[in-house]
Structure 1
Amino acid sequence: MKTFRVWFIAIMLAVASGLVAPGPASAAPYCGLVWGSLVKSNPAMSQAQVTNVRTGQHYCFDRLVIDLNGRVGGYTVRYVPQVTQDGSGLPVPLRGQAFIQVTVNDPAYDQNGKSTYNPGNRKELTNVTGYQTFRQVAWAGSFEGYSSLGIGVRARLPFRVFALEGPAAGSRLVIDVAHFW
């Protein structure tokens, strides 16, 4: 019993003196992401055309991929109060609490005006049911060499944009939207 009291007193003194106190709280970013939510753009143009749009889920973010049959041109990706259609400016209704307008400086048609990407359902390009951040992906059109789409997300969250080469002579524009700040 005497040994127990000695240990108990030693532990209490250590706690009181701060020797075994927890370390300071850290505000590390979610999954190490440090992207931000401001506009991201590149003004370049190219001769590529949009051929497909697809999505995927990752532990830290939801991903949108735009496939092109050549080198990615420029792009503008930004949060907007409302996504609008190319040419007409009409609103594109989206589910979610925040909206991202993606404009690729590449058309979805070839030199003869033939469509290179013609979605079956312009309001639901991919099924994002069960995604943590995405609520809807919709087509906003292709006009005068630019193609646009809208992403409805659950909140204004950080995102990043980058291009990947391949497969073959094609490339991909990738937009990742984080699940949390």
Structure 2
Amino acid sequence: MVLRDTSRRTGAARDAGVNDFPELRGVRVGIHDTYDRVVFDFDKGTPRFVAEYVDTLHQDGSGDVIPLKGDQDLKISFLRSVPDPDFDDGGRNTPVIRELRLVSYFEGETLFGVGVDPEGDGPAGFRVTTGKNKIILDVAHRAAGSAG
């Protein structure tokens, strides 16, 4: 699989009622031949989301700068959701994902930062898909402009 697109991704809530705040129940990270995968598991449906590269990652509410390991900062926000209170930031280092951090939960928005360090110059391509009660983020091992 070749992931070359680095543009912003948004998605609508899926199977979540208008008054529901799906709770994040777990985060799994996997390594594949050409990309790394992060799976966000929710309890009932999935919330709306926005995923995009940012020059600087800021904590919601305080505005504090949040430094991440890696050359690029990819943020993924879940709107109208509740974070997993037991989320552990450790042990998520893969070929391209250098850090995965729960940055903040503020006014119903759960914000994660993904520190990305692909092979080559420029941002790694990524895609976001949804499944039953999960949002899946795939990040390419190579920068979008790199041959290979």
Instruction: Check whether TM > 0.5.
Output: yes
Match for residue 138 of structure 1?
A: 101
Aligned mates of 2:3, 2:106 — CA distance in 1: 33
* Contact 2:3 2:139 (8 Å CA) reproduced: no
CA pair 144-132 structure 1, distance change in 2 beyond 3 A: same
User: Is 1:118 paired with 2:118?
Assistant: no
Structure with max Cα Rg: 1
User: Is 1:73 paired with 2:47?
Assistant: yes
Structure 2: runs of 5+ lacking an equivalent: none
Give, in angstroms, the shift of residue 43 of structure 1: 4.8
Bigger strand fraction: 2
User: Is 1:49 paired with 2:23?
Assistant: yes
1:157 to 119, 124, 127: 124
User: Is 1:128 paired with 2:128?
Assistant: no
Superposition pairs of residues 1-181 of structure 1, within 5 angstroms: 31=1, 33-44=2-13, 46=16, 47=20, 48-108=22-82, 117-119=84-86, 121=88, 125-129=89-93, 131-155=94-118, 156-165=123-132, 171-180=133-142, 181=144
Give, in angstroms, the shift of residue 107 of structure 1: 2.3
Aligned mates of 2:128, 2:90 — CA distance in 1: 19
Bigger helix fraction: 1
* Contact 1:54 1:126 (8 Å CA) reproduced: no
SS in 2 for 1:55: strand
* Contact 1:138 1:149 (8 Å CA) reproduced: yes
CA pair 134-44 structure 1, distance change in 2 beyond 3 A: same
**Structure 1 vs Structure 2: percent identity of aligned residues?**
25
The one-letter code matched in structure 2 to 1:178 is: A
Equivalenced residues, count: 134
Q: Which is bigger in relative contact order (C-alpha 8 A, separation at least 6)?
A: 2
* CA RMSD after TM alignment: 1.9
CA pair 90-119 structure 1, distance change in 2 beyond 3 A: farther
- TM-score of the superposed pair, with normalisation by structure 2: 0.81
